[in-house]
Amino acid sequence: MPGYRCESCGYEIKTDEREEPRGCPICRGRLLESNVSGDWDEAVCKSCERKFKYPKGTTPYKCPWCDYTFETTLGGYF
Ligand SMILES: [Zn+2]
Ligand SMILES: [Zn+2]
- Residue 50 CA, ligand 2 centroid: distance in Å: 6
Global pTM reads 0.87
Which value, in Å, is the radius of gyration of the alpha carbons in the chain? 11
Q: How confident is the model at residue 71 (pLDDT cuts 50, 70, 90)?
A: confident
Amino acid 1: pLDDT: 84
pLDDT, one tens digit per residue, over 5-46 is 999 999 999 999 999 999 999 999 999 999 999 999 999 999
- Residue 7 CA, ligand 2 centroid: distance in Å: 20
pLDDT, one tens digit per residue, over 39-66 is 999 999 999 999 999 999 999 999 999 9
- Ligand showing the shortest atom-to-Cα distance for residue 21: 2
- Ligand showing the shortest atom-to-Cα distance for residue 50: 2
- Ligand showing the shortest atom-to-Cα distance for residue 67: 2
Q: What value, to the nearest 5°, has the Cα angle with vertex 10 and ends 5 and 11?
A: 70
- Residue 15 CA, ligand 2 centroid: distance in Å: 13
78 has a pLDDT exceeding 50 = no
